[in-house]
Amino acid sequence: MNPLIISLAAFLGATMLVVGIAALLGAFNTSKAEDRLAVMTGRKTRESETEGIIRDELFPDAKAGLAGLLNSLFDRLGRMSRLFQQANCPVRQEVFFGLTAGCAVLGFVAMILTHSPIPLYPLGGLMGSSLPLIWLLMRRRRRFKQFAKQLPDALELIARALRSGHSLASGMHVVVEEMPDPIAMEFGQVYEEQNLGVGIEQALKTMLVRMPNLDLKFFVTAVAIQKQAGGDMAEILDKIGYIIRERFKIMGQVQALTGEGRISGVVLMALPIALFFAVYYLNPDYVMLLFTEPVGRKMIAVAVVLQILGAITIKKIVNIKI
């Protein structure tokens, strides 16, 4: 039998085994403390809390097995848990790992079905495995943008609540009730934490970790200074909101002026890859010289390095910080 088919079958079998185990253990990744805290804050009923505790007691070994190993691995590899929290991802980390492995298999199979060169098979698997991570990063980026757009309105809403005689915590509760997610969710967590005894400054700093936004940092700093030195908090929030809106106007102008550069970067990055596959399907023997000859392999390595350098250069040109 062809060694390639044997290797592919072994890879598929191992991947499916990991996906199945991850899917089964995804249901056991619960925490008693989290369940009880959810009940205290009204996000979960007592019945669901009891079911979770009974399940944990029935499957203690499964919970502490592969799921715990995967969680510790994610925490070590770039603090993936924080990335999941920032993106508000509905998928558990174990299931995400299984999806990544499954997408890697699909990318590998796609390269086989399209009769691509054998040296590109690992590249197809790598590209497939990166799709869930790209989706997660895009989800986080979209959530950050929505939060940044909603922040000026939230600060003005808190300022109006302060002028009407409410406390800062009550003003945050107004934001939770009147505004949509994600800002309502983030301020809601701050409100719940301070109700449970956490200091409001510490709760805001925790939100800043979840939402690393420069404008939010101004707000957290202003609250900390006002707690120590006093001052008109409503006026400070109005000024912060005004500065944020002016920054958005300048950012819009910069985006319009750098649009041509961004489009040029996308075209220049995609054109060599598209031409490679086009020439390969027109004349495969001509392209295979890049993989069979030593000089061809060196040319591919140099081309990849130049592509990366070009992408970094274009990004630095069009990415203007305000």
Q: What is the DSSP secondary-structure string of 187-231?
A: HHHHHHHHHTT--HHHHHHHHHHHS--HHHHHHHHHHHHHHHH--
What is the predicted pLDDT for the residue at 120?
Answer: 74
How would you write the pLDDT of the chain (322 residues) with one tens digit per residue? 454 555 555 555 555 555 555 444 443 444 444 554 554 444 444 444 444 434 444 444 444 455 555 555 555 555 677 888 888 888 888 888 888 888 888 888 888 887 777 777 787 888 888 888 899 999 999 999 999 999 999 999 999 988 888 888 888 888 888 888 889 999 999 989 888 888 888 888 888 888 888 888 988 888 888 888 877 888 888 888 888 888 888 888 888 888 888 888 888 888 888 888 888 888 888 888 888 888 888 888 898 898 889 888 888 888 777 6
**Backbone φ/ψ region at 2: left (φ over 0), alpha (ψ -120 to 50), beta:** beta
Query: How many Cα atoms are found within 13 Å in the side-chain-facing hemisphere of 261?
Result: 16
Cα separation, 128 vs 106, in Å, equals 7
pTM over 0.75: no
Pick the CATH number of 143-244 from 1.20.1640, 1.20.950, 1.20.120, 1.20.81: 1.20.81
Q: Report how far residue 72's alpha carbon sits from residue 164's, in angstroms, rounded to the nearest whole number.
A: 48
Q: Within the chain, which residue ranges are assigned CATH 1.20.81?
A: 143-244
**What distance in Å separates the CA atoms of residue 267 and residue 310, rounded to the nearest whole number?**
12
Nearest to 214 by CA among 251, 177, 167: 251
